[in-house]
A and B are shown apart, each in its own frame.
Chain A
Amino acid sequence: MTAPAHGLPNSLPRPPGELQQLESVWEPPKGWRILSAVNNTWIGLFYVGAALLFLVLGGILALMMRLQLAVPENDLIDFDLYNQLFTMHGSVMMFLFAVPVVEAIGILLLPAMLGARDLPFPRLSAYAFWAYFVGGLVFFATIFFDVAPDGGWFMYPPLTSFEFSPGLRSDFWLLGIGFIEISAIAGAIEIVVGILRTRPPGMTLDKMPVYVWAMLIVGGMIIFGFPPVILATALLELERAFHWPFFIAEQGGDPVLWQHLFWLFGHPDVYIIFLPAAGLVSMIVPTMAQIPLVGYRWVVLAIVATGFISFALWVHHMFATGMPHLTTSFFSAASMAVAIPAGIQVFAWIATLRRGRVQLATPTWFILGFFGIFVLGGLTGVMLAVAPYDWQVHDTYFVVAHLHYVLIGGMVFPVFAGIYYWAPFVSGRPLSERMGKWACGLMFGGFNLAFFPMHISGLLGMPRRVWTYSDTLGWDIWNLLSTIGAFVLAAGFFIALLDLLLHLRPAGKVNVNPWNAGTLEWLPLDNYGVRSIPRITSREPLWDTPSLREEVDRGQHYLPNTVTGHRETIVTSPIDARPEYLLKLPGPSWLPVLAGVGTAAFFLFLTVKMFVASALGGIVALVSIFKWLWKSEPAPTAKLYHIGEGIELPDHASGSKSHSWWAMVVLMLVDGSIFASLVFAYFYLWTITQGWPPAPFDIPSLSWTVGCALLWSLSSLLFAIAKVLLRKAASRAAICGVIVSAILCVIAAFATNMHTFTTANVQPAEHAYGAVIYALLAWQGLHGVLLALMGSYTIARLIAGLLDDRRRNTFDNTRLMWHYSVAQGVVALAVLQVPRLFS
């Protein structure tokens, strides 16, 4: 396995000045300007820091609740504040801590683990971070103004709709959380494309660290899992604002539709949170045992299997809604089945610990805490999958106990193990062992004291989300214990976070491998990442090639310099990681900050109905984004650049080789999933309605439908012609002319679409049938606007001379979105005609 010392990609001595040039290109901005940094080492740190801040804020809400419940019939906190507290606690922990923290750790660790100088879209990460941070803080602040949401973190209508929750509270949840989900998707695109395209040469899929596998799968799960809830929040907001009755039973809607859409997201979300943490465990355990992970292939298979099965479990949150036995049994079986991939991982870790000699440092103690808590949470999870048992404990404190065992045990403990394990990677020195052990001990003891008694209070009949309880019910002692435990747990968190504040000082240059780990993030690092990008021949390169750290640091591997004079990294092929081209990366910029803040302002001002301010925020965001896009895809030089070992790479790629093409495809998957969720809603409402369309409404006119579909297709045809013209280097005027006609055609198609839908003789606020078809129309309209914007932008680049047959990523992306949107529009039209087959 050991690569020979000679025959390395680059030879010594390295030319003078090479290192200085690399350093100066990657120099981070100084002082407060560091906020304009976009590279992932900095954004990753900000991101993790912000997520931990929300952990503290969400934790304070929990402590307030525990104080209220410490004794029966307490009047410390009234019901109205309490209901806001538990809604905010759940929402903050799930949407502002758990999902962001796993993405943040990915953004921080992945470039180093992949030996990349950076992930492919630094400004996208920066944008995702700022939108989340600003939006999250404002969302949290609603609790201080008595306008925090109070419908529970899963916001079941009709309680959360306009009739039973007038005012702004629910709107803050729907718009605030809705757009934070968009930020999560931006992060997922960065992670997925980064993993597929910026791996080091030789790191084929079967040599990826388990954590990287986990993040790849999680990225995929976010892409398919978040769309249903994005759609659900949009539908509920439409219901609240315009009374479109998606969830109102008297008008043909169904509150259970919300539950399907929410849990179709909600259950994958649990694994979106857990799998990255399991990935961390799969990195820490082998290092601490000094032995490669036992059953690597099985563990990867288990992660992939979990990803798939997690989409077939959502109904186990709805066992009490009164569904047919067959349905219950199917989802019960699927929910149990997910224990198998979890079991595979647990036994692979135990087998690894057996084979090795385990080093007992703070990360190990957190991992042991993880095992103790997570295994118990998994076992209660199997109990909840047993449908008849679930009828008893569903929505009680037993479930509260279970979900905290799996989330705190399954995610928070591995994350803190990770913080102690990777702190030297950030600052070059470990955190305090002493404080770490105290933190771990208090967290473990406090956690169990807080949450184990909740199993019992739940079995004694205590429902969740009660702000008070009578002293006659026998719940007193268990609640008091939980409250004491919660404060002990908080003390543990406090010590760990204090340790971080006192001892974590991000250092530019880091050259340590304190645990003697085998993976690439422990190579010597500087602001530019690794000095040279290593050639990979095994899964634990640092163990198999002991000289690798020195070789890389001396610049003997790929790209030991900056060949284009810009920030750059190597883009490799997705399966076998062969170098394909050099990606020029952007430097520090305030644009992503502006765009992020603008996006947050757009949504938040919209919530409080300050439309002018909201529009301004939207314009700031759009202008910033267009401005940053304008500079992307710099002019390709005709040159080839030598990166070592005789490999010469271009500084540009187009078509399906380009990283931007991959990002666009991922975005279209997200888009398609939102659309698919809406089509699901349409068919779902059909199944619960007598007669479809319900009398007196109609199916939209067939002839108008055909005409409309033809118009949409014509716009696609026009864009295809534009592509041919671009290929043939036709005149700019001709290409512009064709794109303009394609845009006009979209406008005509959409106008026809509106008319076609009015032939159904239903108003959106009249019946759920009208609501769902107008939602389809609105979704298509949004795409019409998008096409007009993207088309105009493409024309602008063409006129400015920034687009030609070679430099055509903008054109390609617009083209992809064009054909996708047209296909979506035609499918939507076809879906509305399906009832004809049954009439």
Chain B
Amino acid sequence: MSEQHVQSVLHSAPGSGAELLEELGMVLYVGAALIFVVVMGLLLHAVFSRRLRASARAWVIGGGIVFPAVTLFVLLTYSLAVGSAVSALNSGTALQLLLNCFGIDSNARIPPPLPGTLRINVVGKQWWWEVRYRAADGELRNVPLANELRIPVDEPVELMVSSGDVIHSFWVPSLAGKVDMIPGRTNRLVVRTSEPGIYRGQCAEYCGGQHALMALYVVAEPRERFYDWLRNQAQPARAPTDPFLRSGYDAFMQGRCPECHTVRGTPAEGTSGPDLTHIGGRHSLAAGVLKNHIGTMAGWIAGSQDVKPGNLMPDSEIHTGSQLRALAAWLESLE
């Protein structure tokens, strides 16, 4: 399995927009620290020394107006340059000039994705993420997933984010800044990374009860592997082959599960919960709360209200221990 990255503004992925933002942050921290030390020095000197001269003009106009005005002007232009560089805008001469001016490598800029390439829709819901892949080439359409995104490395990928209920915010700090998911609107975010790995993100806008337990993973893979994976995801689920898995399948279909979940290729076509067609291949359950394996799957099914109180999935009551094991095993087999 690929390397798991820290969810942090200070650990940005190479080639990502977050990398430029981390650099911007460094400039801000150092600048602020210098100004802070100087101002405190002036203050302490003023307090602990005998009477000194201090003309209003030099101090108030020099320190209070000229210095901040000049500093802020430079900062504002620099921030405009960085802002444009990470926003995947069409490059213009003005932007190029601005970037050159602050020594920002034009390869670091996130370019707008080429028309017809990958586009991923992410819909925030209380408290999980619905993900749909779309591509304009007509081959891969409408692949629904949940709580996990995969992206190819070195390729800008356009995310269209919106909400199915309340306001959420899509934030994977190692890849890019956050963007809100607002009912009635669709916001755009372009992400890119040159390093394969698993990046954790978390909902950043308070969205009710379990806001704290709404995380997701973004998995970056080499292009080839990514497209293999996507083709696989577009396939319906395979019919269970051995009797044990078959009994798990039956438990699923006879229980209340299909009311809310879809498993493509089976009669289960509920839509209020995540699509489970390939759930076995995901890294986490319950939106980043549990690592995904057979034990956590069984635990989640049996006690989802203990793990994540208030979520829409009721605790299961109908399954015996063996049914539960079989059900979990069948779901885990859906890779």
Contacts and interface: CB of A to CB of B under 8 A. Distances in A.
Contact of B206 (A250, A391, A458, A464): A464
A303 to B, nearest CB: 13
Interface in B234-249: none
Contact of A386 (B28, B46, B86, B204): B28
B260 interface: no
B28 A355 contact: no
A294 B43 contact: no
A388 B83 contact: yes
Contacts, number: 253
B184 A355 contact: no
A590 interface: no
A120 B47 CA distance: 40
A392 B173 contact: yes
B18 interface: yes
A255 B35 contact: no
B87 A325 contact: yes
Contacts of B62: 347
Interface residues of A, number: 83
Nearest to B21: A392
B65 interface: yes
A474 B21 contact: no
Question: DSSP majority for the A interface?
Answer: helix
B167 to A, nearest CB: 6
Contacts of A466: 211-212
A393 interface: yes
Given A79-B210, A295-B59, A356-B51, A388 B8 contact: no
Interface in B82-99: 82-84, 86-87, 89
A249 B182 CA distance: 9
Contacts of A423: none
A389 B54 contact: no
Nearest to B33: A379
Interface string A326-341: 0011001100110110
Interface in A237-258: 248-250, 253-256
A605 interface: no
A79 B310 contact: yes
A702 interface: no
A495 to B, nearest CB: 23
Interface stretch (B67-75, B128-136, B190-198): B67-75
Interface in A31-82: 78-80
A354 B208 contact: no
A256 B163 CA distance: 13
Given A461-B7, A463-B203, A347 B72 contact: no
Contact of B64 (A332, A336, A348, A394): A348
A348 B52 CA distance: 14
Interface in B25-76: 25, 28, 32, 35-36, 39-40, 42-43, 45-56, 59-65, 67-69, 72, 75-76
A383 interface: yes
Contact of A389 (B28, B40, B72): B28
Given A294-B54, A383-B28, A387-B79, A463 B36 contact: no
A392 B25 contact: yes
A368 B208 contact: no
Contacts of B202: 461, 463
A333 B80 CA distance: 10
Contact of B72 (A298, A382, A391, A394): A382
Interface in A336-394: 336-337, 339-340, 343-348, 350-358, 360, 364, 368, 371-372, 375-376, 379-380, 382-383, 386-394
Interface string A146-164: 0000011000101100001
B79 to A, nearest CB: 4
Contact of A460 (B10, B20, B43, B83): B10
A391 B64 contact: no
A388 B10 contact: no
A249 B63 contact: no
B183 interface: yes
Contacts of B187: 321-322
A336 to B, nearest CB: 4
Given A83-B209, A255-B184, A353 B43 contact: yes
Interface residues of B, number: 84
Contacts of B184: 249-250, 253-255
A69 to B, nearest CB: 10
Contact of B183 (A255, A320, A473): A255
A466 B46 CA distance: 43
Contacts of A253: 184
Given A461-B9, A463-B204, A371 B59 contact: no
A248 B89 CA distance: 31
A760 B313 CA distance: 44
A357 B50 CA distance: 6
B21 A391 contact: yes
Nearest to B25: A389
B9 A249 contact: no
B166 interface: yes
Contact of B178 (A152, A320, A350): A320
Contact of B10 (A348, A459, A469): A459
A391 B79 contact: no
Contact of A343 (B25, B50, B67): B67
A759 interface: no
A392 B43 contact: no
B75 A382 contact: yes
A833 interface: no
B252 interface: no
A344 B45 CA distance: 18
A395 B204 contact: yes
Contacts of B205: 156, 320, 395
A333 B25 CA distance: 18
Contact of A344 (B60, B82, B204, B212): B60
A465 interface: yes
A336 B166 contact: no
Contacts of A83: 208-209
Contacts of B39: 346, 350, 371, 375
B75 A351 contact: no
Nearest to A302: B64
Given A356-B51, A388-B177, A469-B212, A368 B8 contact: no
B180 interface: yes
Nearest to A288: B47
Nearest to A160: B166
A354 B59 CA distance: 10
A396 B204 contact: yes
Given A344-B60, A350-B42, A321 B182 contact: yes
A758 interface: no
Contacts of B208: 83, 159, 164
A467 interface: yes
B69 to A, nearest CB: 6
Contacts of A352: 54
B178 A394 contact: yes
Nearest to A356: B51
B6 A460 contact: yes
Nearest to B63: A347
A752 interface: no
Given A358-B47, A380-B32, A464-B206, 16 more contacts: A79-B212, A156-B166, A159-B207, A164-B126, A255-B182, A295-B60, A328-B83, A329-B83, A340-B72, A343-B63, A345-B64, A355-B54, A375-B36, A388-B79, A466-B211, A474-B8
22 contacts: A79-B210, A158-B166, A159-B167, A321-B182, A325-B83, A340-B64, A344-B65, A345-B64, A350-B42, A351-B60, A355-B53, A388-B20, A389-B21, A389-B28, A391-B177, A393-B9, A395-B205, A395-B206, A458-B9, A459-B25, A461-B8, A467-B212
Interface of B: 6-10, 18, 20-21, 24-25, 28, 32, 35-36, 39-40, 42-43, 45-56, 59-65, 67-69, 72, 75-76, 79-80, 82-84, 86-87, 89, 126, 165-167, 169, 171, 173, 176-180, 182-185, 187-188, 200, 202-213, 309-310
